[in-house]
Amino acid sequence: MTKTISEYLTFRGAYTITTDWHLLSAFLILGATYLDTIDGRVVRTYDQCSIFGCGIDWLADLLCQIVIVIWWA
């Protein structure tokens, strides 16, 4: 569930960058990163790792990094 919210925040952060709401974008991306950190700890604590989840986590992290690089460009 937190991964879905994290991905949503990343997409919303990417959208708000295009509308020049930079402060909101920063909070959305920071929120996505924070939820990604919590999600990783919970998954490892309860041993709920899967190949699909690992792939989605990697994709969400990559998307967040791309959004940040585009924002800085």
| 16-52 confidence digits (pLDDT tens) | 888 888 888 888 888 888 888 888 888 889 988 888 8
Q: How far is CA 55 from CA 60, 62, 71, in A?
A: 9, 11, 24
Domain positions in the chain? 2-72
Spell out the alpha helix ranges (H) of the chain: 2-18, 22-45, 51-72
Instruction: Say how far apart CA 32 and CA 48 lie, in whole Å.
Output: 20
Query: For the purposes of burial, counting CB atoms within 10 Å of the CB of 58, is it exposed (0-12), middle (13-18) or buried (19 or more)?
Result: exposed
CA 59 vs. chain centroid, Å, equals 9
Q: Give this prediction's pTM.
A: 0.72
